[in-house]
Amino acid sequence: MTSSRTGTRTGTVSAADAGSWSLDGLTVHRMGFGAMRLTGSAAFHEGVPSDRGQALAVLRRALELGVNHIDTAAFYFSRLRSANELINSALAPYPDDLVVATKVGPARDASGEWAVSARPDQLRGQVEENLRQLGRDHLDLVNLRVMSQPDVSEHFGALAELREAGLVRRLGISNARLEHLDQARAIAPVVCVQNPFGIGAPSGARAVLDACAAHGIAFVPFFSVAGRGRESGAVARTEHDEVLAVARAHGVSPAQVRLAWILHQGPHVLAIPGTGDPDHLVDNVAAGALRLDEDELRLLDRIGGEQA
């Protein structure tokens, strides 16, 4: 296995190497792109975002590398950057095969402070804000971000009405438990679930991944490269020896091993790593071509509890 840097020089890096999945008729490569980090850190209004020109270049480069699934949200903004505005500026008019997925539910005021979660009757306004920022007349896919509510039926029902009205084409849920998935599926088709998941995730986190596989639903993990603490700006932990050993064997980075492991969890798993760095982007996409053998997968599977 050659390193991602070698692949870059020979021009062989492509998101298509990760394989594809159909989101209710929309075929996407399983290696996508998350736009959150273009605005700064995972804390949204903290940290220093990348240079605007570089952020635009990263988005355009992602498409050149075959990425056709971008994850974003209107609440992905910092004091200087809005993820949706960057996507609009860089990519509009949008290619026909590009799927832009967004999220609704959480609410932030103009200063970036979190407000209470949106009521069901406020979700239309959030959908319309995403439409305006992205310059679209409909949204390909909207995920309901579950906050603290034990029952999502009313919220998901409100989105189902927007789907019927044509503002939204497909629906998913994010940060969801099994009961949330069941509640949503009883109202309208669910095409994806976005949950935190990666090497070292608690054993219970796999239940939703397995349920998605059983129902033919895409599972889209976030916090999959570094884990919850490191993604949110906490002091970086020392990398696991098992991850380092596999990385050395393939001549790749630990982050690429983590992404490859994610993709090995099932053909329905879609990765959405984010970055504002052009080199990291290429490395992330290159991870889609990294094949781990059974011994390596068992070694990595033994890591436990990182995200507990």
Catalytic residue selected from 33, 44, 75, 76: 76
Q: Are 212 and 193 in contact (CB under 8 A)?
A: yes
| Residue 163: HSE in the Cβ half-sphere, 13 Å Cα cutoff | 20
Residue 66 backbone class (left: φ over 0; alpha: ψ -120 to 50; beta: rest): left
Classify the C-alpha dihedral 180-184-189-191 as positive or negative: negative
| Residue 120: HSE in the Cβ half-sphere, 13 Å Cα cutoff | 13
In angstroms, the CA 117 to CA 104 distance is 9
Active site residue 94: no
DSSP, collapsed to helix, strand or coil, labels residue 218 as strand
Distances from the Cα of 270 to the Cα of 35, 118, 220, 237, 298, angstroms = 15, 27, 5, 25, 21
In angstroms, the CA 187 to CA 171 distance is 11
Q: Which residues are catalytic?
A: 76
